[in-house]
């Protein structure tokens, strides 16, 4: 039974990846707003119904692996529980970025470009995703810094700064290809540490 479920999950992930590649190709070429679900399905050589078997809307194609990436980030943060807070956050952000293969980095950069173009749908989605990342980091920090009062700004501010460094690195690399993620992340955390 578990082998069959594993195979089913692998097939599902493969189908989702094909749809994602088709969507990113079309979004890059003709824009997010100008690309329809029918366009994506046709490019992926599947039916419209097949598209909706895996995704609720075309914007969901862009972030279908975000929950997995957040889980991996949380695991990395937990693994670094003995390090100073800023060092652990820096290392987790760098591990997150360095853990992406080149295709994932390229899609993440493309997503940043699409969000910057101002689609209201994507801006709303990006904000919701940001809130999920902030919750994750704040939860971790509340455990690490349990002595802080709920009204203390340290936890939410550190969470916001860590997420901002990650977002800024993605945005800079999307605008200036060739930028080194590690260098941008290090610079961001150096600025936080300096303050």
- How confident is the prediction along the chain (195 residues), in pLDDT tens digits per residue? 455 568 888 888 899 999 999 999 999 898 899 999 999 999 999 999 999 999 999 999 988 888 888 999 999 999 998 999 999 999 999 998 888 888 887 888 788 888 877 678 888 888 999 999 999 999 999 999 988 887 889 999 999 999 999 888 888 877 787 888 888 889 999 998 765
12: alpha, beta or left, given left = phi > 0 and alpha = psi -120 to 50?
alpha
pLDDT for 194 equals 66
Query: Do 163 and 123 share a domain, yes or no?
Result: yes
**Into how many domains does the chain fold?**
2
Q: Is the pTM of this model over 0.75?
A: yes
pLDDT for 1 equals 47
Query: Do 69 and 99 share a domain, yes or no?
Result: yes
Query: Do 20 and 78 share a domain, yes or no?
Result: no
pLDDT for 149 equals 80
- As a whole number of angstroms, the distance between CA 16 and CA 48 comes to 13
Query: Among 115, 76, 78, which Cα is nearest to 93's?
Result: 76
Query: Do 138 and 54 share a domain, yes or no?
Result: no
Query: Do 114 and 184 share a domain, yes or no?
Result: yes
Query: Among 15, 26, 78, which Cα is nearest to 50's?
Result: 15
Query: Residue 53 has which token pair?
Result: 């078997």
- CATH code: domain of residue 49: 1.10.10.60
Say if CB 26 and CB 40 are below 8 A apart. Answer: yes
85: alpha, beta or left, given left = phi > 0 and alpha = psi -120 to 50?
alpha
Query: Among 119, 108, 110, which Cα is nearest to 25's?
Result: 110
Query: Among 182, 104, 89, 99, which Cα is nearest to 136's?
Result: 89
Secondary element (H or E) of residue 160: helix 154-175
Q: By residue range, what is the domain housing residue 20?
A: 2-61
Query: Do 56 and 69 share a domain, yes or no?
Result: no
Query: Do 20 and 113 share a domain, yes or no?
Result: no
**HEC profile for 71-85?**
HHHHHHHHHCCCCCH
- As a whole number of angstroms, the distance between CA 141 and CA 156 comes to 9
Can you list the positions of beta strands (E) in 5-162? none
């Amino acid at each position: 039974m578990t082998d069959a479920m594993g195979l089913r999950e692998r097939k599902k992930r493969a189908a989702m990846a094909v749809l994602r590649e088709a969507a990113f190709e079309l979004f890059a070429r003709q824009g997010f707003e100008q690309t329809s679900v029918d366009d994506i399905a046709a490019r992926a050589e599947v039916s419209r119904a097949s598209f909706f078997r895996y995704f609720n809307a075309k914007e969901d194609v862009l972030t279908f692996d975000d929950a997995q990436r957040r889980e991996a980030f949380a695991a990395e943060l937990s693994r670094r529980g003995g390090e100073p807070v800023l060092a652990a956050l820096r290392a987790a952000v760098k591990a997150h970025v360095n853990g992406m293969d080149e295709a994932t980095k390229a899609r993440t950069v493309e997503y940043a470009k699409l969000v910057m173009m101002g689609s209201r749908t994507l801006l709303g989605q990006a904000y919701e995703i940001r809130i999920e990342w902030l919750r994750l980091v704040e939860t971790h920090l509340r455990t690490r810094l349990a002595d802080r009062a709920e009204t203390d700004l340290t936890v939410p501010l550190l969470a916001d700064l860590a997420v901002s460094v990650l977002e800024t690195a993605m945005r800079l690399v999307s605008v200036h290809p060739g930028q080194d993620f590690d260098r941008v992340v290090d610079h961001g955390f150096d600025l936080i540490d300096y303050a």
